[in-house]
Every structure is written in structure tokens, then in C-alpha cells.
Structure 1
Amino acid sequence: MSAVTTNAPVQDVIELLRFQHEQIRDLFDLVGKSSGRAREEAFHRLVRLLAVHETAEEEIVHPVARRALPGGEEIVADRLAEERAAKEALTELYGMDTGEPEFLARLDRLRDDVLAHARAEEREEFSRLRDAFSDAQRRALAGAVKAAEASAPTRPHPGAQGAGANLLAGPPLAVMDRARDLIRDALK
């Protein structure tokens, strides 16, 4: 399965990230409305999108925001705390059977947290990044985000957070995750 995000029809980093937030919302809805094998497949797509999206934000977007925006340190610290909590919850969900009764209740809590996080990013980080960078710079950042996503892990790894940790641990985790994805898909 290819990364959902690399085929986004946008070139501006802010549009790209907002497009991905829409995909995330849609996948949460699809997981909640599906059952059986369809729910499991939709959930794996959601996990993959969240993992590569957050990794790219941690490697590219947050470091830029930290340096370029007034109050960037605090903004990014808040977003990273939210991302860490979401990764931990997603890791727990990933270990569950999607048919378990508790799965949907926990998924709903995660959905609320992830969508609140996305709104905070869009309001406090993305809108200010749009003002801080030219069209050409935002296009270059979109290319960097897509490149980071291409080599990002496809599962949440709460211990690997932030640009440095992602750059160090990300590639081996990505190789392992992508191998697991291939095996899982082959056994369907």
C-alpha cells in the first residue's frame, strides 16, 4: 500500500497538511462506520496516514515553526505533547482487535483528541506559517514534507518524537513497519 499522503493534489505545505487533516477526518468516519475486514483495512490506512503525517510534521514543520514564529517554542511544545498522547493511544488501539466492543469507544476518544490537535495546528501554527513564508518557500516545504513521508514509519512509535529522534530512529523503524505492512497485506 502506498502512502496516502504523497498523492495529495496540492503543492503548498499548508494546503497539503490541511488536505491530510481532511483525509484523517474521513478515515476516522470510515473506520467508525465500517465493520469486519473493511473496518480493519480502514483502520490500518488511518494508522499509516497518522504515522507518516506526524513524522513529517515533527521533522519538517515543527522545527520551522519553532524558529520562524514568535512564541514558536511554546506552540510546538504544546503540539508535540498532543502528538505524544495520540501516539500512545493509537499504539494501544493498534494492539486491539477492531471488532472488540471497547475499540470504537477508544477510537472516538482518539478521534476527538486528534481533531482538536489538528484544529490547534491549523489555527496556531499553519495560519502563521502561511504569513511567514512566500509561496515558493511553502512549495519547497511541501516537497520536504512529502520526502519525509516517503521514508517515515507507518506505525506510531511514541518514543521516537521530534526531528532528531525521527531522523535517527525513523529509517530503521520505517523499514520494519513497511516490511510488516507487506506481510500483513500478503496474508489477506
Structure 2
Amino acid sequence: MSQNGIDFLRDQHRTVETLLDAVSSASPTERGAKFDELRELLAVHETAEELILRPLTRAAIDNGNEIADARFAEENEAKQVLADLEKLDASTGEFLTKFESFAIDVRKHAQNEETYEFAQVEESQDEAALGKLGTALAAAEKAAPTHPHPSAKTTTANLVLGPFASIVDRVRDAIKQAS
């Protein structure tokens, strides 16, 4: 049986927190590699949540639309900051200052998801449905873009942009690793 989808997402939140700390504490020369690892996880994690979890939130829980809209707004802000951070030299103080503010927002967003969304979704679904959620989230992450795309401000835009952006992102990542 597949992992409970909410547990899958909570586990990723713990990994994100570890990576946030790793970026903050890395030496200037190591910070870029740690940030790349974090950026990729955030990009695929948030895409999967937008495409798989948010529709379930809207359909399965009271005030689901309000909860999903609030999380989506937080994610759109984070995508923009993440894209801005990508343009900066990770070894600089400017990057670190902007990153520290971003890290606070990411932690708050994760807490909001776990408090206002995950608990209610988990309560509304049986074990089999939560297993299917886990399978769907894992599948969505395999096809998700690996960089933030702030221009994709809706789930529909992510559905249209996602496959192309994923290919472009993976080629860009391969070129960066090769150089």
C-alpha cells in the first residue's frame, strides 16, 4: 500500500526545514549547491500540492476553497521570491538576507498547511484514499518543473506549462551540472 499522502507531504516539510537550515549555515561557496537542492524540492513539492492536494481540499472539507486560496496565494508569493533568489549570487550577503526572510515565510506556509489543511484533509479521507493521494502526489512530482515559474499563477496554468517547463528545467539542470 502507498504511503499516506499527508504523511508524505509532512515528511517533505521536515526535509525542507532541514534544507532551509543547510542553506543558512552553508559556507558562501557551498550555499549555491544547497540552495539548488532546496529549490528543486520546493518546486516539485508545491506543484504536486497545487495539482493534486488543492482540488481535494476544495472538494472534501468545509471552507476548502478559502483554505486552498490562502495556501495558493502564499505559494505564488514564494515562487516569485524563489525566482528572484535564483538570479542572485548565492555567496553574497544580499542573497543570504533575502533568503532568511524567505525561509521564515516558507516555515510559516508549511505550518499553515499542516494546521489548516493537512489535518482536515486527513480527517475527511479513509486510509485507501490517503494512499491514493500519496501515489498521485509522488507521480505528479516526477513530472513537475524543478524551478519556480511565477507566471503560472493558476492550477490550470501549471497543468499547461508544467510538462514543457519540466523538460526545460531538467535540460537546464543537466547543463548546469555538466559545466
- Give TM class, smaller chain: over 0.9
TM-score (norm 1): 0.92
Match of 1:122 in 2: 114
**Structure-2 residue corresponding to 1:11:** 3
* C-alpha RMSD of matched pairs (Å): 1.0
Please tell me whether residue 172 in structure 1 is matched to residue 167 in structure 2: no
Asked whether 1:82 is paired with 2:69, we answer no
Q: Which runs of 4+ in 1 moved over 4 A?
A: none
Query: What is the Cα deviation at residue 159 of structure 1?
Result: 1.5
Unmatched 5+ stretches in structure 2: none
Q: Distance in 1 between matches of 2:171 and 2:138?
A: 20
TM-score with structure 2 setting the length: 0.97
Letter in 2 for 1:43: F
| CA-CA distance at 1:164 after TM superposition | 1.5
Q: Sequence identity of aligned pairs in percent?
A: 42
Unaligned runs of 5+ in 1: 1-9
Partner of 2:53 in structure 1?
61
**What is the 5 A alignment of 1:134-149?**
134-149=126-141
Query: What count of residue pairs does the alignment treat as equivalent?
Result: 178
Contact between 1:60 and 1:163, CA under 8 Å: does it hold in 2?
no
Q: Secondary structure at the match of 1:115?
A: helix
Distance in structure 2 (CA, Å) of the matches to 1:159 and 1:11:
32
Residue 163 in structure 1 maps to residue 176 in structure 2: no
Contact 2:28 2:92 in 1 (8 A): no
Query: What secondary structure is seen at the aligned counterpart in 1 of 2:109?
Result: helix
Q: Which residue number in structure 2 is paired with residue 30 of structure 1?
A: 22
Report the Cα offset of residue 112 of structure 1. Answer: 0.5
SS at match of 2:153: coil
